[in-house]
Structure 1
Amino acid sequence: MSHFSHIGLLGRRDSESTKYSLNRLIDFLSKRDVQMYLDEETSLEMPECKLPIKSRGELAKVCDLVIVVGGDGSLLAAARAFAGHNVKILGINRGRLGFLTDISPEEIEYKVGEVLEGAYEHEKRFLLELGVQRNNATIAHGCGLNDVVLHPGKFIRMIEFELFIDDEFVCRQRSDGLIVSTPTGSTAYALSGGGPIMHPSLDAIAIVPMNPHTLSSRPIVVNAQSKIRIFISYSNHLSPHVTCDGQTHVVTEVGDVVEIQKSERSLSLIHPKDHNFFETCRSKLGWASQRGNHD
């Protein structure tokens, strides 16, 4: 008997390799005692598929497992729809790095079969909530599993802002922007900005400056319960953007206040039983994979 009974399928758009893996997955699951549903957006790429079609909001209500076929970007998009719901997420990698979608296409039947039999590891990943205040009123909301990023938008110019943590002034900075990252996002954009790699089990947030004008400016790691506030200085001659997971963005104005904090919602992410975070780092980041001789 399957450990999961209602499974939603979601795939990356405009990808023939994703369609191939989805069809292979559907063929495999059709031999199991499970009810499958196809994500509404994904169904546009697979008009020949006869599975029941549901929106992501509907999938979040009826499914106990959602399988995402694609890259980490596909899973990040799914995270916003399924976070806070009683549904687990499993990723099959059809992207590049695949830190979150960690089953390879060649292992679909074997690894997904193990998961259906209950052989998997489960972890909670927290999201960041974004709020933008203007004239004491909230003008925008957002959330991100990886990060919230302040950046100049289409202009290549420095931004000036003031950073506060738990209402304590930290610094005034001129830089290309600021990355506020969860442990999940520490191996993504924050890593390219010189941020630390944080183990997924940490309850912490990394604040990473992007090309700061002051060389002594370094990343800061704070407790995940911290409330981060960024004041957009009046001296700016552009309208900085704030982006969540690189997929949704808000255009700010001088005098706006960007507020970031840990979300009350979390994502239930599952991995195959042999999943190992440091092995993933070794394979994805090119770390030395051989141990030395300790004899």
Structure 2
Amino acid sequence: MSLQFHRVALVGKYQDSTSGLVADSTREVIADVAGFLKDQGCEVVLAERTAEATGLRDYPARDVAGIGTECDLAVVVGGDGTMLGIGRQLARYGTPLVGINQGRLGFITDLPLGGYRQALPPMLHGEYEEDHRSLMLGKVMREGECVFEAYAMNDVVVNRGAVASMVELRVEVDGHFVANHRADGIIVATPTGSTAYALSAGGPLLHPLVPGWVLVPIAPHTLSNRPIVLADPVEIVIEIVGGRDASASFDMQSIASLHHGDRIVVRRSDYRVRFLHPKGWSYFNTLRAKLHWNEGGV
């Protein structure tokens, strides 16, 4: 079978979360994966920020637009955060992504670092499962003007301030009033994000093929304010009614100090993220492995 992906971009974790520097082990992993791809017959391109952070100069570097227009595939080395960051940016180009897990959980970077040499070659030759994930577009509207806009693959979160009491949030869906929530905040999550913060806050798991969002209050004052699953064509509006120092986060892209009357508007993006997995990949296998289901049982 002939090689399907000829020009492959390699995207790595930019820096260590504690020191702010790229660890030697990360640089070695990126160099190792790049050399392996080259040995498979691929032309390797490094993401611009990855090249700058690692100091690897043996391969050409491209920015996100260059990767999207010139490369057939992006291989992402890191954790889910690394994948979320590049996935949001490459979605508009339709570039497929493969994740090699160098993080902890790895719900969407599912090739183990120790096993990528066995898993990647068949995928490079066209043997893979393709998985499309929805993307949200969120905006913060203030007095009719957009003051912040970002894409999110996991979730949009409205939170109370660090030292403030709970916030009061008015929620509308497609212009219809739903409820005023007094809580520590509220989460709008995609199926991909249903295994992230929304799960910790008591939300349900959504299969990636479900065309929906999950709306999850965070520590609500009224216990009857429960998570709800919504169809993803709807527009969700969250208005800041009360409370101080509220903030909004779009996959950790944040805007702080929201004002009373600010409206966080969330709708489905026109773009979807393309993930590739090894043949035989199953979402349920991922859940069992990452959530430790059936441990100690049959």
TM-score of the two chains, using structure 2 as the length reference: 0.93
| 2:168 aligned counterpart, secondary structure | strand
Distance in 1 between residues matched to 2:67 and 2:60, nearest whole Å: 11
Match of 1:258 in 2: 264
Shift of 1:61: 1.2
The 8 Å contact of residues 91 and 102 in structure 1, kept in 2 or not, is answered as: yes
Is the CA contact 2:94–2:273 (under 8 Å) kept in the aligned structure 1?
no
Q: State the one-letter code of the partner of 1:142.
A: A
Q: How does 1:1-295 map to 2 (within 5 A)?
A: 1-13=2-14, 14-233=22-241, 235-236=242-243, 238-288=244-294, 292=298
CA RMSD across the alignment: 1.5
Query: How far does residue 289 in structure 1 lie from its aligned partner after superposition?
Result: 5.0
Distance of 1:145 and 1:248 partners within structure 2: 14
Query: Where in structure 1 are there 5+ consecutive unaligned residues?
Result: none
Distance 2:54 2:136 in 1: 33
What CA distance in whole angstroms lies between the structure 1 residues aligned with 2:52 and 2:107?
Answer: 27
SS in structure 1 of the partner of residue 84 of structure 2: helix
Name the CA distance, whole Å, in 2 between partners of 1:221 and 1:19.
Answer: 42
Output the TM-score relative to the length of structure 1.
0.94
Q: Which SS does the other structure have where 1:51 is aligned?
A: coil
Query: Shift in Å at residue 138 of structure 1?
Result: 1.5
Alpha-carbon distance in structure 1 between the residues aligned to 2:33 and 2:88 = 24
In the alignment, the residues of structure 2 paired with residue 48 and residue 227 of structure 1 have an alpha-carbon distance, to the nearest angstrom, of 44
Q: Could you list the runs of 5+ residues in structure 2 that have no partner in the other structure?
A: 15-21
Identity %: 34
Shift of residue 140, structure 1, vs aligned partner: 1.4
CA-CA distance at 1:248 after TM superposition = 3.7
Aligned residue type for 2:105:
L
> Quick check: 283-292 or 240-249, which moved more?
283-292
The Cα of 1:34 is off from its aligned counterpart by 1.8
Q: What is the distance in 1 between the residues matched to 2:149 and 2:28?
A: 36
Aligned length: 290
| Comparing 282-291 and 101-110, the one that deviates more | 282-291
Distance 1:16 1:188, change over 3 A: farther
* Segment of structure 1 superposing worse, 39-48 or 69-78: 39-48
